[in-house]
Structure 1
């Protein structure tokens, strides 16, 4: 597992001996390679990589701390904030160094995917399961629409029951940003305004994760904007994306 450091070593000590252009090129290649590794990484390593990436790209964390209920956003913010004044070039070097330690052969691999950060569904630290052992929750978190439909057709499932994480299927579908699965769940009787253990609806999840297509779909299918979670916040309050905020403003 990657660890944070308190002293900012010279790049040569990290095995990164290159000029700024070369460092940026290696940093971008490492970021592009991350999706190939995500399924095998634990939460702490993912958060550490996220922090190095944000520090390398944007510098010192200057964004407001997310509210306590937004556990995924809060965890990412705290990981980034912990780096304090670490220079961007050091964060980039540490990011590269961490990817190299996870997969020493990454420089020899061809990379086709782009790095993206993930919502709580990927931060769960899932172990790899064979398809036969996967539950409908696993399949929703994988955005596996075909698998979800297959299970729903074969087995009776209480769609509005909260799992051990305090979420119903509709919350997971919003978290991963799947309009198709949301549509399927509603057709099978899921409550569009179902609340999780923190009082959040699917609309809260879609808004806080920046999934504008899900927000649009939920609103068009009767999702209530004014529902407050246990902290008194509505989906409008937790939206960070300006386009989503505008969408809400035209729907009120």
Structure 2
């Protein structure tokens, strides 16, 4: 999995409202907002001296100001950087917008003691930004947009292009268990992205349901970690083994934050496979 790497996007939402801490009683909302925007612009100049923890701290507070409470689903299993950002933002809960701006500004000051926000002299102009916003985090990697002719079967799988994948498998152009450089097969990717129908298609074409990648993780590990209960149930119905461990010794129920999925996996391991007719398990999805 990737280690934390470079820039972060921000939402275009307006700043949220909320209770103002006492230390900001003497500062108007407009002044505070202006100083926050200056800090968000200046942070691009100090990102290189900030630690990953500081960048996550800034990212979470920027999102809290611009969007409010975390309102996005948890990123996929492969997106380690995205999950760290999501967790930092999610942890703020109903954190005060004013407090978030206060802490953002103070953190930028610590990163550059010589910097201080200037009094507003003219209407604020949006700074030139990269990838949607001025806040810098070293936790975002922009995926290159591929031309159609440059895509491979894994790209079509990630995009949930069922017709392309189905055609390739039906014609024998691609082995359903083909793996990428990390040992991840199409079923791993479909489970990671939450493509339930595509998972069914791959299973119909006899995808190896317990195939392990280079880290020993099965598709069931991926579906569990990404919290897709429908896919977890589908995999279990088709004979996925919840007792298999990855290279770190973890079973699927130990890599998920979902109590419901963990309970489902543990119950399945205790009581054995579901007694469903094989003809139903391998029925081609409509």
TM range (shorter): 0.5 to 0.7
User: TM-score, normalised on structure 2?
Assistant: 0.53
Quote the Cα distance in structure 2 between the aligned partners of 1:211 and 1:98. Answer: 39
Cα RMSD, aligned residues only: 4.3
Matched, 1:101 2:108: no
Can you list the C-alpha shifts for 1:91-133, whole angstroms capped at 9, x where unaligned? Answer: 899xxx99982477x9xxxxxxxxxxxxxxxx87432223333
User: Aligned pairs, how many?
Assistant: 188
Structure number with larger C-alpha Rg = 2
Equivalent pair of 2:60/2:88 in contact (CA under 8 Å):
no
| Residue 76 (1) aligns with residue 83 (2) | yes
Q: Which runs of 5+ in 2 are unaligned?
A: 1-5, 10-30, 39-51, 71-76, 106-124, 134-139, 270-286
Residue 33 of structure 2 is aligned to residue 11 of structure 1 = yes
Matches within 5 A, 1:161-176: 161-176=178-193
Aligned to 1:226: 243
- Give 1:176-195 correspondences, 5 Å limit: 176-195=193-212
Runs of 4+ in 1 over 6 A off after TM superposition: 47-50, 97-100
1:88 aligns with 2:100: yes
Cα deviation for residue 236 of structure 1 reads: 0.7
Which runs of 5 or more structure 1 residues have no equivalent in the other structure? 17-43, 60-69, 107-122
Deviations 1:27-51 (A, max 9, x none): xxxxxxxxxxxxxxxxx9xx96994
Larger helix proportion of the pair: 1
Q: Which residue of 1 aligns with 2:157?
A: 140
Q: Which has the higher contact order (CA 8 A, sep 6+)?
A: 2
**Any idea what the Cα deviations from partners look like across 1:109-168, whole Å, max 9, x if unmatched?**
xxxxxxxxxxxxxx8743222333321100111112122112223452233232123311
Matches of 2:181 and 2:174, distance apart in 1: 15
SS at match of 1:222: coil
